[in-house]
Amino acid sequence: MLGAVKAKFKVLDGANKLLNATAVVGSSGIPCVFNPTDFTIQRSVNYAQHKIPGRDCPVLQFVSGEAETMSFSLLFDTYSVGEASNHPALVLSAMAVDLAKVDVRKFTEPLMKLTTVNSDTHAPSLVEFVWGSISFKGYINSISQRFTLFAFDGKPVRAVVDISLISDKKDNNVRNSPDRTKARTVSDGDRLYAFAYAEYGSCEEWRRIAEANDIDDPRRLESGMDIVIPPVL
C-alpha cells in the first residue's frame, strides 16, 4: 500500500545560504511533517468608484488586479511521532522520554528562514509549495509559528505554522488598447456624462461622445441604442 504523498517546499532561485546544511533540508526541498488539512486560494481586484451627480450608484472603473495568494497551516509535532535524541544516561521514565524528544524548531526554522534576504538575489527566495498535483510558486508573504506543547525542560515539541504565499505569476493576457474606438449600448437612466466619466475620467468630455454620434440633445438617449465612444486622446 502506497503511503500518503508528503507536501514540501522547493527553493527555486538557488539554495538559500541561510538554510544551512540541516538534516531536514535536502536536495528535494523542505519537507512538511504533516500535510495541511486545508488551504485557501484567494484573488481580488480593485475598482475605483466615481460618484456622478444625480445617480444612485457610482460608476465602477477597473483599476488593477491583485496577486493570487495561498494560505494554510502546518502542524509540526516531534512529541507524538518525532525523532528521539540519543541520551544514553536517561532511564526510560516519562521525563526521560520527554527530554529525548527533538526540538520542533529543527523542522520549522528552515521555513522561517525562507523570508530572509538571499545574499545572491538581494531578496527572499522564490519557492514552490508542492503537494502531489498541487503546485504554487511565489514568495512567502507572511509566516508565524505558535508553540503549543513543551517538554519538561521547556523545549518546544509541537508547533503550528501559519503560512501565506503570494504568487509571482506574470500577466500574459493580451488586451485591447484604451486608445481604440469602443461601442456601448444605452440602458435606461444612462447619460452621456456618465459614459464620459467612465471612459475618460471627466464628465466634460460628453461633448466628444455627442459629436461622434450626432446627438443634438444629450438628455434624450433611447434605451437600446448603440453609441460610439471615441478613443482616448
Write down the pLDDT at residue 123. 87
Write down the pLDDT at residue 3. 56
Paired residues of 127 in beta bridges: 11, 138
- Residues of the chain with pLDDT below 70 are 1-3, 14-27, 81-100, 172-180, 233
Write down the pLDDT at residue 176. 54
Tens digit of pLDDT for each residue in 92-110?
Answer: 445 455 555 789 999 999 9
What is the C-alpha to C-alpha distance for residues 19 and 32, in angstroms, rounded to an integer?
15
> Which residues of the chain form CATH 3.10.350.10?
182-229
Sign of the C-alpha dihedral computed for residues 13, 15, 18 and 19 taken in this order = positive
User: What CATH number has the domain spanning 8-167?
Assistant: 2.40.30
Write down the pLDDT at residue 220. 78
Write down the pLDDT at residue 129. 96
Write down the pLDDT at residue 71. 97
Write down the pLDDT at residue 130. 95
- Comparing CA positions, the residue from 124, 142, 112 lying closest to residue 30 is 112
> Which residues of the chain form CATH 2.40.30?
8-167
User: What CATH number has the domain spanning 182-229?
Assistant: 3.10.350.10
Other beta carbons within 10 angstroms of residue 37's beta carbon come to: 9
What is the C-alpha to C-alpha distance for residues 184 and 209, in angstroms, rounded to an integer?
11
Write down the pLDDT at residue 83. 46
Using CA atoms, how far residue 52 sits from 47, 99, 204, in Å, is 15, 69, 12
Distance, CA of 128 to chain centre = 13
Q: What is the pTM of this model?
A: 0.65
* Residue 5, helix vs strand vs coil: coil
